[in-house]
Amino acid sequence: MTRGRTVTRRRAAAVVVVAAVAALTGCAADEPAGARLVVLAAASLTDVLPPIAEQFERTHPGTQVVLSFGGSAGLAQSVAAGAPADVLAVASPAALQVVLDSGDSVGEPVVFARNSLEIAVPTGNPGAVTGLADFARDDLDLAVCAAQVPCGAAAASAFTVARVDPRPDTLEQDVRAVLTKVRTGEVDAGLVYATDVRAAGDDVEGVTLPPAQRVPADYPAVALSGGASPDLAADLVAALLGADAQRELAAAGFLPPL
């Protein structure tokens, strides 16, 4: 069977995120007065950050935390391009470097969690996937993240360690896009983070990698100088290391920072 390989077009992430965040931060006449913190965060944090944000709001009355998720590289580029935001939390220190180089951060970034790679397959594992070697099979539809985003860079490292020449059919701009293709059965396997497999519940199954192939990922966060309330943003970054936030992260499958 002949199968065309489709590669997702690279999105103009900076333009999209700037527009989206601008809409989020616009003040409507019926909005309550109070501090507003806009947090741009890696897609793999989609499920765990909302309860952490709610806890921060409870301990900081009058504060509203607005969350926007996407690929780490695109979010960082958006901040450097002027996107209005207070906190940036990404899935690798490398993705954050463009913000640090641009001088848009306040203080030092804080690593608040770690993650690792895992293969996600549809329930029942119809492709009989057992490891990274299967990403070289022509008879499977396969998804990985694009090389410029953290999950893609981690995937490249894992394939190098495993000595596998991968043949993905689609390259996605964030890890949740890979997970969605697995959940919907569009692909036979996708390389994601272990926390994404857990978040998908019964919709997918996980294939655990050998320790050397898991490629741990550090998650740093930093307060941004262009935000409306740098001090409050710094408090939120510090709260990510607090007991309540660390419990939420652990429950979602994240590892504690070293």
pTM: 0.85
Q: Which residue has the tokens 């969605």?
A: 180
Write down the pLDDT at residue 34: 65
pLDDT band for position 19 (cuts 50, 70, 90):
very low
Tell me the domain boundaries of the chain: 13-114+218-251, 117-213
Q: In whole numbers, what is the pLDDT of the chain averaged over residues?
A: 88
Mean predicted confidence (pLDDT) in 166-185: 97
pLDDT band for position 121 (cuts 50, 70, 90):
very high
Write down the pLDDT at residue 99: 94
Write down the pLDDT at residue 92: 95
- The C-alpha angle with vertex 105 and arms to 55 and 253, in degrees rounded to 5, equals 40
Fold of 117-213: D-Maltodextrin-Binding Protein; domain 2 (3.40.190)
Of 3.40.50.300, 1.10.630.10, 3.30.465.10, 3.40.190.10, the CATH number of 13-114+218-251 is: 3.40.190.10
**Lowest mean pLDDT: which of 62-76, 93-107, 128-142, 195-209?**
93-107
Mean predicted confidence (pLDDT) in 153-173: 97
Give the highest mean pLDDT range of 4-13, 15-24, 211-220: 211-220
CA distance 240 to 258: 14
What is the per-residue pLDDT across 59-76, written as a single tens digit (0 to 9) for each? Answer: 999 999 999 999 999 999
Beta bridge partners of 190: 120, 143
Helix, coil or strand: residue 46: coil
Nearest CA to 187 out of 3, 45, 47, 1 is that of: 3
What is the per-residue pLDDT across 92-114, written as a single tens digit (0 to 9) for each? Answer: 999 999 999 999 898 889 999 99
Are 37 and 66 contacting, i.e. CB atoms less than 8 angstroms apart? yes
Asked whether residue 78 carries a pLDDT value surpassing 50, the answer given is yes
